[in-house]
Amino acid sequence: MGCKSMGRAVLAATLSIGMGAASAAAMDVRFMMDWAWQGPQAFALMARNAGCFEERGVNISMDRGFGSGRVPVELAGGNYEMGLADINPTIKFRAENPDSDLIAVAVMFSGSPLVAVVNAESDIVEPTDFNGATLAAPDFDAGRQLFPIFAAATGIDESTIEWISVSPELREPMLARGEADGITGFITSSTISLERLGMGAEDQRVFRYKDFGVELYSTSILTSRAFAEENPEAVSAVVACMMQGMQMAVADPEAAMDALVDHEPLTDPEVEIKRWQISIDEMIMTENVIEGGLSNIDRDFFQRSIESVENAYGLPNVLTVDDIYSDAYLPPVEERMMPSM
């Protein structure tokens, strides 16, 4: 079955699920995305447009995000019931706030997108060359929040780094104008945005954290344990619909970009489909996911990632996988399998 045929098949399956749930009173769920509406976020729009949430009895509102580090803060503050974010700032948040009950109920992007980017003509060639550098990033940027893990893995003296806090839209221009030595971010956001500013791939030197022994899972669906236990059907519905949206968007990237343009008319679909394809290649279609479907986690890997976050921030190793992750709200494995590419 071709990708587009698979997309239509997944869409048909989505539309047929949960008809009985629609008769019940809809549950309101406020959902915060990790970033602005770009290619990697389009799968959520696919799920919404297919009517999946409505049919499963969920009245979902989805707001753009401002970085993965902000999502756990908003969830803990009660401003949202659920959200999408890189799991690692939430691990840090949990370790620093023991009374918090935030958990991941699905790992959507298994591969880590975290990067630091410098000009290709920069003297920063090896990670230790970052010593003494000036880096620009938003405060809640996951690449910035998790830079200490990259530093610990590569021997960077983090105390020598000078950070410039900028709004998301100013991060890449700071590097392009030479006003910072480097930036941190996601491979799907920073590198493509730099290309739009005239810094092509040949003008960038990209340090992928995962290439330097940093073991981290990435974008996950988050909520509080209390909300999940009080509203298991709603949480399960959101997880199932987001996964179906992911399946549709991977099977038919062009349809995903159509949904994105409908939602954000100023979107450049050629740029955003590049972001989405990078997401598919580097973050979604990992070996574990190909073999066992979305959120098919390796518990030993997950535990090491938790400990690496704790160690990087000088926190005691107290969190376990069961503290930060629950698979109780996942759909059956057969409904989590990804289309063949």
194 in the same domain as 279:
no
Instruction: Please indicate, yes or no, if residue 139 is contained in any of the structural domains.
Output: yes
228 in the same domain as 325:
yes
Region of 58 (left: φ > 0; alpha: ψ -120 to 50; beta: rest) is: beta
328 in the same domain as 253:
yes
Query: How many CA atoms does the CB half-sphere of 115 hold within 13 Å?
Result: 21
Let me know: does 27 contact 58? Beta carbons within 8 Å: yes
Instruction: Please indicate, yes or no, if residue 340 is contained in any of the structural domains.
Output: no
250 in the same domain as 121:
no
Instruction: Please indicate, yes or no, if residue 341 is contained in any of the structural domains.
Output: no
233 in the same domain as 182:
no
| Domain termination residue (choose one: 212, 239, 256) | 212
Q: How far is CA 126 from CA 62, 149, 175, 176, 227, in A?
A: 40, 16, 18, 20, 45
- In what side-by-side order are the strands of the sheet with 219-224? 58-63, 27-32, 82-86, 219-224, 102-107
Extract the tokens encoding 8.
């239509």
Instruction: Please indicate, yes or no, if residue 254 is contained in any of the structural domains.
Output: yes
DSSP at 179: S
d(CA 268, CA 36): 13
pLDDT value of residue 127: 98
Ordered DSSP codes for 130-156? GTT-EEEE-TT-HHHHTHHHHHHHHT-
Instruction: Please indicate, yes or no, if residue 56 is contained in any of the structural domains.
Output: yes
Strand (E) or helix (H) holding 32: strand 27-32
Ordered DSSP codes for 210-261? GGGT-----EEEEEEHHHHHH-HHHHHHHHHHHHHHHHHHHH-HHHHHHHHH
d(CA 178, CA 73): 32
pLDDT value of residue 25: 81
86 in the same domain as 17:
yes
Let me know: does 207 contact 116? Beta carbons within 8 Å: yes
Q: Which residue, 188, 24, 41, 212, is CA-closest to 126? A: 212
239 in the same domain as 107:
yes
Instruction: Please indicate, yes or no, if residue 62 is contained in any of the structural domains.
Output: yes
- Cα distance from N-terminal residue to C-terminal residue, the chain: 10
Task: Domain of residue 173: give its range.
Answer: 114-212
Overall domain count for the chain: 2
Query: pLDDT by residue for the chain (341 residues), tens digit each?
Result: 444 444 444 444 444 444 443 445 899 999 999 999 999 999 999 999 999 999 999 999 999 999 999 999 999 999 999 999 999 999 999 999 989 999 999 999 999 999 999 999 999 999 999 999 999 999 999 999 999 999 999 999 999 999 999 999 999 999 999 999 999 999 998 999 999 999 999 999 999 999 999 999 999 999 999 999 999 999 999 999 999 999 999 999 999 999 999 999 999 999 999 999 999 999 999 999 999 999 999 999 999 999 999 998 899 999 999 999 999 999 999 999 999 86
231 in the same domain as 166:
no
| Domain termination residue (choose one: 166, 194, 212) | 212
185 in the same domain as 281:
no
The runs of H, that is alpha helices, within 25-106 are: 42-49, 52-55, 70-76, 87-96
Task: Give the type of residue at 208.
Answer: R
Instruction: Please indicate, yes or no, if residue 138 is contained in any of the structural domains.
Output: yes
81 in the same domain as 142:
no
| Domain termination residue (choose one: 166, 188, 212) | 212
68 in the same domain as 155:
no
148 in the same domain as 133:
yes
Burial track 38-61 (b if 16+ CB lie within 10 A, e otherwise): bbbbbbbbbbbbbbbbbbbbbebe
CATH number of the CATH domain containing 171: 3.40.190.10
